[in-house]
Amino acid sequence: MGGTFDPIHLGHLRAAENAREALGLDRVLFVPAARPPHRPGPIASALDRFAMTALATSDHRPFEASDVELLRSGPSYTIDTIDDFLAKQSGSLCLIVGSDTFVEMTGWKDAARIFASCQVAVVPRPGESGSASVPPFAEAQGVSLVPGPTLDISATAVRARVREGRSVRYLVPAGVADYLAKRGLYS
């Protein structure tokens, strides 16, 4: 599961847990994008975003933060990360994305190879239901829709609350809330 995680929040964790349960995944790797090619740069540094991701995933054994994109130079292309994981492990790979990201994937670098290299699991955004969140071409690509409860939390809203001096407790894991406060991020 990749993303900017600027910052990681409970909605990300719930989406990953939904996918883990629905698809029978042994583990979920959270991969903060060091240099996302399809959007403006993140506000927090890649190192801070990785640290928050590691804190957020530390208390659930199947979850793990990966620094694979932080160690690679250049833009953080998903296909490069998939290639890296496939070269280092045996078995299959599943890419977990939100439905908002899924509709953009056809414009990604080597999109056809992404779909050929791994299973793609799409997590609906809060308020979406059923297959309405997944375009019709997805079935032909072998894409799975992940069922389960969603949390209506966004990193944009978390950053705004921090900027306004409001609490982000119960929107982000406690360790992430503490990290934000100690580092003065998004203030």
Domains assigned to the chain: 2-182 (3.40.50.620)
186, 162 contact by CB (below 8 A): yes
Long-range contacts, 64-73 (Cβ 8 Å, 24+):
64/27, 64/28, 64/29, 64/30, 65/29, 65/30, 65/32, 66/29, 66/30, 66/31, 67/32, 68/31, 69/2, 69/31, 69/32, 69/33, 69/34, 69/35, 70/32, 70/34, 70/46, 72/34
Per-residue model confidence as pLDDT tens digits over 13-30: 999 999 999 999 999 999
* The model's pTM: 0.92
- Predicted confidence at residue 135, as pLDDT, reads 55
Could you tell me whether strands 2-3 and 94-98 are parallel, antiparallel, or unpaired per DSSP bridges? unpaired
Query: Which range, of 38-42, 164-168, 183-187, averages the lowest pLDDT?
Result: 38-42
pLDDT, position 161? 98
Reference 122, options 100, 107, 104, 140; nearest CA is: 100
User: Looking at residue 180, what is its pLDDT?
Assistant: 98
Tokens (6 digits) for 47 = 């190192």
**Banded pLDDT at 129 (limits 50, 70, 90):** low
